Structure 1
Amino acid sequence: MADSPREGKVARPPDFTQLIDLASEFVGGKVLFATDDFFAPAENLLKRDKPRFKEYAYTEFGKWMDGWQTRRKRIPGHDWCVVQLGIQGAIRGFDVDTSYFMGDHAPRVSIQAANFEEDKQPEIPQREVRTATAATPEEFEAISELKSNDWSCLVPMTELKPGNPASSHNYFPVNSQQRWSHIRLNIFPGKYDGPSPGIRDWTAGNPKEPLDLVTIAYGGACVGFSNAHFGHPNNIIGVGTAKLMADGWETARRLDRPLILEDGILLVPGCEWAVFRLAHPGVITQIEIDTKYFKGNSPDSCKVDGCILTMQEEEDMVRQKWDLQGHKWKPLLLVTKLKPDERHVLDSLTPELQDVITPAKLTITPDGGMSRLRLKGFPSSICLLRPLEKPMMRFSVTAGFRENL
C-alpha cells in the first residue's frame, strides 16, 4: 500500500533539476560513511525513484521511511554522511528532499564537496546497508583519511522546509566550475539529490583511442525527444551496461503502424526520435546500439544523423521541437535493421576526420526501446558548446515523459 499525504500545488523546479544526478545509485553513486542509520539507512538518499510513503508500514525500530533518518540526537555533535559521486563533475545545484518527513525532518543542512583523482582516493572499507546502528570507531577512523571537515562549502547552514507535498523540495543552486568527486551532507538537530553534468579533461588520455562522446559521464545529454512513455532517453547514454529494461528508453506503440507487415525494412509513416547534445564537438567513427532486454519490443530499425549548431541555434531548435530542415543533418548511420536483445556495433559514415557534429539525432522506426547508445569518436578542436557557467538548456516534459516542450 502506498498512500501519501494530501497533495498541494507544487512550484516549478529550477532548470538544474533537468541535469544528471551524479550521486544516484543509477550511475554508481554510493554512501561511504554515515554517523547513524537508526530508522532508515543513508543509502536511501541515492535511490533513482521518487520517495514513497507507506501509511501503515512499520519496522521493529519505528515508522518505515523511504529516506535517511537518524535517531534523535542525545550526544555532542551532529549527523553527517559522505557520498562518493558515481560521475565526477561540476555541480549546478542540490535538491534536498524532505518528502513525508513532517514532524521529524532535519531543521538545517549544509553541504561540502571535495575532488579526489581516482588513483589518489583513500581506501574506505565498503559499508553494508543497515538500520538501528551508528558508525563504529573504526569507521570514524577510516573516514577521517578524507579530512571532510575541511572540504569546500557549497551550501552554508540553511533552514529546510518540512516535507509536505507542496514544499518538500529545497533547491540550492551552486555557482562553481570546479570538478567534484565526493559530497558531505551535514544535517543539524533529509534526503538529497545532486543533479549536474559530468566533466572530462579532454586533454588527458590517448588521442588515438575513440571516446564515447555522448555519454552522460562526460557531459552528454538528451535535449529533445518525441516520446518517452516507459523510460527517458537520458537512460540510454548512462554509465555502464543496463541492468534491466527500466534502464533504457522505450516509447509507446504508435497507432499509425501498418496493420499487416511486409518483409524487409518496415516502411511506416511515423517514427520516434531523440536528440542528444555531445559532451564535446567531435567526429563519430563508430556507433553502438544495444537492445539488451528488449526482446519483444525492440525497434524494427534505426538511423543516426548529426549536425553542427551554435549555442543559440540549439536553443532555437529546442523551442521548435527540433523541426530542423533536413539538409542540415549529416547521415552517420543509414536506416539499419535491428535485432532484439543484441548489441549492434556499426561503423559511422564519417571515417574521415572532418565531419564535426555537436548534436546527434537517433531515429527509431516505428517505436520500441533500447538499453544503450554509444557514439564513439574523437573530440574536435572546434568548440561551439555553450560556456560552462550557462545552465543546460531547459526542456520540460509532461507526465509520463510523453513529449518535449
Structure 2
Amino acid sequence: MSKHNNNAPDIKDGFIPIDSNDEEDQFFKDNIDAMNKINATILADRESTTEESLHNQQLKDNSGILYRPSYRRLNTCYSLNDTSFATKIDLAADYQGSSIMFVSDQTFGSAGNIIRTDVIKEKKELWEMENEEEGWQNGWLVKRHQPNAFAVIQLGVSGIVSGIDIDVTEYSQCAPTTVSIIGHLRDSPGKWIKLLPQVFVDPDSHNFFETRNPNICSHIQFTMVPGSAITRLRVYGDVAPPFIPIDRTINLASNLFGSQVIQKPVNILRGDIPNIILDRANSSHDGWICTRDKNANDIPQYTTIKLATKGIIGRFLVDTKHYIGNAPQSIVIQGSMITDQNVNDLENIQWINLIDEDQIRHNIFPNMKHIISCTYSEPITHIRVRPIPDGGIQQLVAKGKVFLQNKLPQPTPISKRKRDGIDKKGTRSSARLMKK
C-alpha cells in the first residue's frame, strides 16, 4: 500500500506536523491581497542595523533541510503554570507595545481587549449579565452571522513563538468553533507561516497549545470561525530584539531586550510573570508580593532572572512604588554565570553577592525608588533577588553594558615620527628633503 494512502498524521513526541499546503485553509488564501498590503507597511517600518548580525542569534538548520512546524494541544493543562512555557514572555501583550493593526469587525468590544494585561476594575453587575452581547465587553465580540473574523496584531518585539493560550472564558454560546493563527516572518518580508492550523476550542475555558517553530515572527493573524468572541489571546515565546546596544548603558533585566523570569517564589500573593521586569507601575498588581515568611529562612523566596545578554552591571534600581504596607525591610541581590548545561540545576549553582554587606542591610522604604551600586565587576548572565524577610517590589532594574568577549579590532596607531615623514601624497615632506 502506498504511503500516501495513509491519512494518519506523523505524530512525533505528541506534536502534529503542520501541513502548509492544507487546502481547507481557504480563508488565508482568500485574504492574501489584504496580507500583501500589510506586508508593504511592514517593509516601510523595518530599519536595518549593523549590530543585528552580532546579537540576533537565530535558530537555523545547518543541513539545509526545511524545518516543518508542529503543534500539540495541552489537554491536561488548566492554567499557565501547568504548561512548559509558563516562564515565557507574552509576545502579543500590550506591555510589549503590541497593537491591533487590522481587524475585520469589532461591533461588540474592541479587538484591543484581547492583548490587554492590566488589571481591569470592573463592577460586579457587569459580570452578571445574562446577555453576553449587551453593555461593556471584557473581550472581543463580532456581530452575528459572520462566517469568520480575524485580527492582525503587530508584535511590540519580534520573537519565536513556543506557546499559545486561546482564552474564551466568559463566552459560552458566543465562543468560536475553530481558530487558526499565522505569523509573519521578520527576516523574510512578505512571507507568512502557520503557527496553528484550524483547531477546535472549548468554550468558557483556556485552550493551551505548544508549538515548535524556530522562525522569528513580527506579526500574527488570529482567525476564528465562525465570527464570534474571544476574551484574551496570549502568544508566549522568546523575545528576539533587532539588536542590543553595545555602546550605552541599558536595563539588562528588561523584557523588551529579552530578559526572562525563569524561577519565582513558590507562592505569589499578587502579581504574575513577568511583572517585576516590566517598565509599568500603574498599581501594586504590576509587581510581586511574596507570602509572609513565618518561618524565616526555611524557604528562601528567590526570584531568578535571566538577563537579556551576558553583561556587566553597574547599579540596580529597586522600585517599591504602590507598596506602602508590603515593602520588604531589606533585599539581597546575587548573580552568577550560568550556561545552558546547568540552567536546570539552579539550586547547586554558586551565587555571588552583587551588593556589599552595608547595602544588604540597607533599609528598603515603601513607595520609592532605591539606587544600589553593584560591587561585582565581572560579567554575569543571571541574577536573583530576595526580599528580607518577605514583601513585595514593583520592579527590579539592572543597569549595565553588554560584555564583549572579543573586542572589535582597532586601527593601528601611527607614530608621530612616521606621520611627520609622510605627507598627504605619500611622499616625504619638503621639510625633511631640505634637511638632506
Identify if the C-alpha distance between structure 1 residues 269 and 155 changes in structure 2 by more than 3 Å, giving closer, same or farther: closer
Tell whether 2:386 aligns with 1:363.
yes
Shift of 1:114: 3.0
What value does the CA root-mean-square deviation take over the aligned residues?
3.3
User: Which residue identity is paired with 1:193?
Assistant: R
Q: String of CA shifts for 1:166-212, please: whole Å, max 9, x gaps.
A: xx40415140232x33222122223421011222344x53x331121
Q: Map 1:18-33; keep pairs closer than 5 Å.
A: 18-33=87-102
What's 1:272 paired with? Answer: 301
Equivalent of 1:347 in 373, 382, 401 = 373
Identify if the C-alpha distance between structure 1 residues 256 and 60 changes in structure 2 by more than 3 Å, giving closer, same or farther: closer
What's 2:112 paired with? Answer: 43
Q: String of CA shifts for 1:49-107, please: whole Å, max 9, x gaps.
A: 79999774156954875332212235xx7321122223332222322223343333222
Contact 1:197 1:218 in 2 (8 A): no
Tell whether 2:138 aligns with 1:66.
yes
- Partners of 1:160 and 1:108 in 2: how far apart? 4
Contact 2:160 2:213 in 1 (8 A): no
Larger CA Rg, structure 1 vs 2: 2
What's 1:245 paired with? Answer: 284
What's 1:232 paired with? Answer: 272
Identify if the C-alpha distance between structure 1 residues 367 and 11 changes in structure 2 by more than 3 Å, giving closer, same or farther: closer
- 3-state DSSP of counterpart to 1:94: strand
- Partners of 1:55 and 1:209 in 2: how far apart? 48
Identify if the C-alpha distance between structure 1 residues 271 and 341 changes in structure 2 by more than 3 Å, giving closer, same or farther: farther
What's 1:93 paired with? Answer: 163
User: Which residue identity is paired with 2:239?
Assistant: G
The structure, 1 or 2, with the larger RCO (C-alpha pairs under 8 Å, 6+ apart) is 1
Tell whether 2:245 aligns with 1:175.
no
Equivalent of 1:192 in 233, 251, 256 = 233
Tell whether 2:140 aligns with 1:103.
no
What's 2:202 paired with? Answer: 162
- Partners of 1:17 and 1:345 in 2: how far apart? 30
What's 2:332 paired with? Answer: 303
User: Which residue identity is paired with 1:40?
Assistant: G
Identify if the C-alpha distance between structure 1 residues 233 and 62 changes in structure 2 by more than 3 Å, giving closer, same or farther: closer
The gaps in structure 2 that reach 5 residues or longer are: 1-74, 407-436
- 3-state DSSP of counterpart to 1:284: strand
- Partners of 2:395 and 2:196 in 1: how far apart? 38
Contact 1:95 1:194 in 2 (8 A): yes
- Partners of 2:131 and 2:236 in 1: how far apart? 31
Contact 1:281 1:382 in 2 (8 A): no
Contact 1:278 1:360 in 2 (8 A): yes
Contact 1:233 1:248 in 2 (8 A): no
Contact 2:185 2:192 in 1 (8 A): no
What's 1:402 paired with? Answer: none
Contact 2:253 2:259 in 1 (8 A): yes
Tell whether 2:310 aligns with 1:281.
yes
Identify if the C-alpha distance between structure 1 residues 348 and 170 changes in structure 2 by more than 3 Å, giving closer, same or farther: closer
User: Please, what TM-score do these two structures have when normalized by structure 2?
Assistant: 0.64
Q: String of CA shifts for 1:345-376, please: whole Å, max 9, x gaps.
A: 222113x4xx1212111122111111111112
Identify if the C-alpha distance between structure 1 residues 244 and 87 changes in structure 2 by more than 3 Å, giving closer, same or farther: farther
- 3-state DSSP of counterpart to 2:141: coil
- 3-state DSSP of counterpart to 1:43: helix
- Partners of 1:170 and 1:303 in 2: how far apart? 36
Tell whether 2:183 aligns with 1:113.
yes
- Partners of 2:401 and 2:151 in 1: how far apart? 39
- Partners of 1:181 and 1:151 in 2: how far apart? 11
- Partners of 1:90 and 1:310 in 2: how far apart? 20
Q: Which moved more, 1:56-65 or 1:331-340?
A: 56-65
Tell whether 2:323 aligns with 1:294.
yes
User: Which residue identity is paired with 1:232?
Assistant: D
- Partners of 2:373 and 2:193 in 1: how far apart? 46
- Partners of 1:219 and 1:162 in 2: how far apart? 32
Identify if the C-alpha distance between structure 1 residues 242 and 323 changes in structure 2 by more than 3 Å, giving closer, same or farther: farther
What's 1:372 paired with? Answer: 395
Identify if the C-alpha distance between structure 1 residues 343 and 244 changes in structure 2 by more than 3 Å, giving closer, same or farther: same
Q: Could you tell me the percent identity over the aligned residues?
A: 23
- 3-state DSSP of counterpart to 1:45: helix
User: Please, what TM-score do these two structures have when normalized by structure 1?
Assistant: 0.68
Contact 2:315 2:373 in 1 (8 A): yes
- 3-state DSSP of counterpart to 2:354: strand
Tell whether 2:217 aligns with 1:217.
no
Aligned length: 317
- Partners of 1:313 and 1:88 in 2: how far apart? 27
What's 1:332 paired with? Answer: 354
The gaps in structure 1 that reach 5 residues or longer are: 1-7, 118-146, 258-267, 384-405
User: Which residue identity is paired with 1:43?
Assistant: G
What's 1:142 paired with? Answer: none
- Partners of 2:167 and 2:108 in 1: how far apart? 17
- 3-state DSSP of counterpart to 1:72: coil
- Partners of 2:388 and 2:119 in 1: how far apart? 31
Identify if the C-alpha distance between structure 1 residues 241 and 18 changes in structure 2 by more than 3 Å, giving closer, same or farther: closer
